[in-house]
């Protein structure tokens, strides 16, 4: 078993050991959050023909060339075209047709005038301004062309992507299946969220945040509860996790004499491949693989350490399983808003807030960086990278920040 890897070494190791999961075909309604296993090509032009973008009147632009408020142009309304319908005949010179949003523009017409820009008198409509050729007309194929790849393999399906697939008539879609992630924790001091917290007992909050994070990513979490600090309880819990694509344990995987997890994993056909990553928070992190397939992540017990190691190592692994092309957190450059110091030898992930100052982002810490301060995770916009061998960063230094959660809080601008 390897010891004390750098963050990059650990990340590369895990990505190399992580398989992509097989494709499955699911109902479009069930595909939200999953990742396309193949590109999607439009079978036809959308819209299929030139259509109106407004309720109004289809005309020939040349007929309105001299129209103004003093000398409006009147044209007879000869027929009506509804959405989903078709024109009775081509539009002749000097005619207009009533038309509705989404309706096909009749042959002979080349523009649409909004209803509110006209005045009707019986079967005649009056226009008081010229119109540009093509105005308020959506061209055939403007949205999608027949044979065009509109969604590529590796695209995560959100509401917009599902809408595109529906418009193409795709009721079923090929996606990488969701990884089944067994979540477990261990320790005599841990209780469930509604348990007795008298004495030194604490709620197993890691389990709840990990289950929630897996769901956010589109994985399928399986919560297996809390084991006691004895070999039988630990083995029972891990046996229940067999068959999952991924096991995430915050039970603690140590290398000491009282470690129950490592021998249990070996008994069940899993070999730990490395332990310890030169980072803070999150040093006591472990990774292993089952000979029959499936990976195991041993997260530290402290809440912030568990969160950071999940984001740095577990999240990219799950995203790769799901077929994602981009597995790592987005980053941006910021100016450090305060001086920071640390000991060399570990890369620090510093929880920071981000605020805009002109064209720059300013990163300031959330305060106490203890690995037990859970509230800092709520307040943090990102994780600032304090390099391994650096001991001091001055105020104003240019720093790299990993953006958390992929969204921005209300009132803050996205990066340029």
Calculate the average pLDDT of the chain. 92
**Which residues does 255 contact at the CB level (< 8 Å), separation at least 6?**
262, 275
- The predicted structure's pLDDT at residue 58: 98
pLDDT at position 188: 81
Q: What is the pLDDT of residue 193?
A: 86
CA distance 269 to 184: 18
Asked if residue 317 belongs to a domain, the reply is yes
pLDDT of res. 128: 96
CATH number for the domain that contains residue 227:
3.40.980.10
Nearest alpha carbon to residue 250 among 190, 299, 304, 183: 299
In this structure, the answer to whether residues 288 and 380 fall within a common structural domain is no
Q: Answer yes or no: do 198 and 284 share one domain.
A: yes
* Assigned domain for 382 exists: yes
On whether both 313 and 336 belong to a single domain, the answer is no
Q: Is the Cα torsion angle 59, 61, 64, 69 positive or negative in sign?
A: positive
pLDDT value for 251: 62
- The more confident residue out of 199 and 163 is 163
**Pair (213, 305) in one structural domain:** yes
- 133 and 190, same domain (yes or no): no
Structure tokens at 292: 């029959």
Residue 288, in any domain of the structure? yes
Are 218 and 21 in contact by the 8 Å Cβ rule? The answer is no
The residue with greater pLDDT, 231 or 17, is 17
Q: Does 284 lie in the same domain as 231?
A: yes
Domain range for 85 is 51-138
| Percent of the chain residues past pLDDT 90, beyond the cut | 79
Length of the chain in residues, anyone? 416
- Tell me if 343 sits within 8 A of 279, measured CB to CB: no
Under 8 Å between Cβ of 92 and 76: no
Q: Give the pLDDT confidence score for residue 215 in this predicted structure.
A: 95
Mean pLDDT in residue range 34-55: 96
The pLDDT score that the predictor gives to residue 409 is: 41
- For residue 191, what pLDDT band results from cuts at 50, 70 and 90? confident
d(CA 105, CA 90): 10
192 lies in the same domain as 303: yes
Residue with tokens 């300013």: 362
Closest residue by Cα to residue 136 from 168, 167, 112, 160: 112
Same domain? 164 vs 239? no
> What token pair was written down for 297?
């992540």
Token duo for residue 180: 């089944």
* pLDDT confidence band for 2 (50 / 70 / 90): very high
Find residue 203's DSSP bridge partners. Answer: 191
Reduce the DSSP state of residue 385 to 3 states and report it.
Answer: strand
Name the least confident of 99-113, 225-239, 319-333. 225-239
Looking at residue 189, its pLDDT comes to 85
Question: Over 70: is that where the pLDDT of 93 sits?
Answer: yes
Cβ pair 159, 15 in contact under 8 A = no
Q: Residue 203 above 60 pLDDT?
A: yes
CA 235 – CA 111 distance, rounded (Å)? 73
Residue 266 has pLDDT above 60, yes or no: yes
Question: The domain that contains 360 carries what CATH number?
Answer: 2.40.340.10
| pLDDT band for position 115 (cuts 50, 70, 90) | very high
Which residue, 280, 295, 321, sits at the end of a domain?
Answer: 321
pTM listed for this prediction:
0.84
For residue 414, what is the enclosing H or E element?
none
| Count of structural domains within the chain | 4
Place 256 in a pLDDT band, splitting at 50, 70 and 90: low
**At 192, is the secondary structure helix, strand, or coil?**
coil
Residue 245 lies in a domain: yes
Q: Are residues 42 and 133 in the same domain?
A: no
Decide if pLDDT at 408 tops 50: no
Q: Are residues 238 and 297 in the same domain?
A: yes
Pair of tokens at residue 318: 């799950």
Answer with the one of 138, 164, 186 that is the final residue of a domain.
Answer: 138
Domain C-terminal end among 176, 201, 234: 176
Residues 92 and 226 in one domain: no
pLDDT tens track for 134-168: 999 999 999 999 999 999 999 999 999 999 999 99
211 with 160, same domain: the answer is no
Q: How confident is the model at residue 416 (pLDDT cuts 50, 70, 90)?
A: very low
Q: Decide if pLDDT at 413 tops 60.
A: no
Burial zone of 103 (CB within 10 Å; 0-12 exposed, 13-18 middle, 19+ buried): buried
CATH number at residue 110: 2.170.190.11
């Amino acid at each position: 078993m390897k010891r004390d890897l750098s963050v990059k070494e650990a990340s590369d190791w895990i990505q190399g050991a992580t398989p992509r999961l097989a494709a499955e075909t699911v109902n479009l309604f069930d595909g939200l959050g999953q990742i396309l296993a193949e590109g999607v090509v439009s079978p036809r032009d959308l819209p299929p023909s030139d259509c109106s973008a407004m309720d109004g009147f289809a005309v020939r632009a040349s007929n309105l060339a001299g129209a103004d408020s003093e000398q409006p142009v009147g044209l007879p309304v000869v027929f009506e075209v509804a959405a989903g319908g078709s024109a009775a005949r081509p539009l002749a010179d000097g005619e207009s047709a009533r038309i509705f949003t989404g309706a096909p523009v009749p042959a002979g017409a080349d523009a649409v005038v909004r209803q509110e820009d006209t005045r009707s008198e019986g079967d005649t409509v009056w226009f008081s301004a010229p119109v540009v050729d093509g105005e308020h007309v959506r061209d055939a194929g403007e949205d999608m062309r027949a044979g065009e790849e509109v969604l590529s393999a590796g695209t995560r399906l959100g509401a917009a992507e599902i809408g595109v697939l529906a418009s193409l008539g795709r009721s079923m879609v090929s996606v990488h299946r969701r990884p089944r992630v067994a979540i477990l924790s261990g320790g005599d001091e841990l209780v469930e969220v509604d348990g007795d917290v008298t004495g030194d007992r604490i709620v197993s909050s890691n389990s709840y945040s990990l289950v929630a994070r897996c769901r956010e990513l589109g994985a399928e979490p399986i919560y297996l509860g809390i084991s006691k600090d004895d070999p039988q309880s630990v083995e029972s819990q891990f046996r229940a996790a067999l068959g999952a694509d991924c096991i995430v344990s915050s039970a603690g995987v140590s290398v000491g004499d009282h470690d129950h997890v490592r021998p249990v994993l070996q008994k069940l056909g899993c070999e730990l491949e490395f332990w310890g990553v030169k980072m803070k928070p999150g040093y006591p992190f472990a990774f292993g693989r089952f000979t029959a397939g499936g990976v195991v992540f041993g997260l530290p017990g402290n809440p912030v350490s568990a969160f950071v190691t999940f984001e740095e190592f577990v999240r990219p692994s799950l995203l790769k399983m799901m077929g994602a092309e981009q597995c790592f957190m987005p980053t941006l450059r910021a100016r450090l808003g305060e001086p920071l110091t640390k000991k060399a030898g570990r890369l620090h992930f510093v929880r920071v807030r981000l605020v805009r100052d002109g064209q720059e982002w300013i990163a300031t810490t959330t305060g106490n960086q203890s690995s037990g301060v859970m509230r800092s995770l709520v307040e943090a916009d990102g994780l600032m990278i304090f390099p391994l061998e650096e001991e001091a960063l001055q105020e104003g230094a240019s720093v790299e920040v990993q953006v958390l959660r992929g969204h921005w809080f209300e009132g803050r601008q996205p990066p340029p």
